[in-house]
Chain A
Amino acid sequence: ETGVTQSPTHLIKTRGQQVTLRCSSQSGHNTVSWYQQALGQGPQFIFQYYREEENGRGNFPPRFSGLQFPNYSSELNVNALELDDSALYLCASSVGGGETDTQYFGPGTRLTVL
């Protein structure tokens, strides 16, 4: 186990709704990255937070937003949900700013949009 936790484990929403997913990073880690993994695909980078600031963003629309808190836990918010947002959402924590940036993943949140 990595020590990275995510909640909830499963979530069902309808189109147009909003959702908030949560991630607690591993002890000693100050960086959280979020990924979307569609069924049968590799994870796709959404964005990264380092010391409470967004530190890079992938090819996702602005309705995907996030936060990082002083304890380095993080939230992913998705507005105006679409059917294609159905996926496993993964967060990964790491120690940013140095030579070692190994990312450790949590178990994910399975989001289903109906």
Chain B
Amino acid sequence: GENVEQHPSTLSVQEGDSAVIKCTYSDSASNYFPWYKQELGKGPQLIIDIRSNVGEKKDQRIAVTLNKTAKHFSLHITETQPEDSAVYFCAASKGTGTASKLTFGTGTRLQVTL
């Protein structure tokens, strides 16, 4: 089955700096890659996603890049703010129907310091 690895496990940046989180996946059939932010005591919140027919997607301060050949994708957060502090999870799936289960990475705890 699919295996998703995520690095780093913890990341500390100063407010205003950029943060980058990287994930690799094993199943070349995976074609959907969402990123979730999870705050303490809450469920994961979708922040951005990308499909395999796109190499990059941006939404304000957040961007995701996908390299299908290398089977890795990355989350980039620019101009970090204290409210960006949370645990971030990458995930992969094969898309729709019975294959749409998400396989998650192990998470990255991002701390934005003042």
Q: How large is the interface on B (under 10, 10 to 19, 20 to 34, 35 or more residues)?
A: 20 to 34
Is B98 among interface residues, defined by CB-CB distance under 8 A?
yes
Contact A90 B43 (CB under 8 A): yes
Q: Interface size on A (CB < 8 Å)?
A: 33
Residues of A within 8 A of B99 (CB): 56
Closest to B107 in A: A42
* Interface residue stretch chosen among B44-52, B56-64, B67-75, B77-85: B44-52
Contact A90 B44 (CB under 8 A): yes
Counting residue pairs across A and B whose Cβ atoms lie within 8 Å, the total is 76
CA distance A56 to B101 in the complex (A): 8
CA distance A42 to B99 in the complex (A): 19
CA distance A4 to B44 in the complex (A): 12
Give 9 closest A-B pairs by Cβ, nearest first: A42-B104, A105-B43, A45-B101, A56-B98, A101-B100, A107-B43, A101-B96, A105-B44, A108-B43
Instruction: List chain B positions with a Cβ less than 8 A from chain A.
Output: 4, 6, 32, 34, 36, 42-46, 49, 89, 91, 93, 95-107
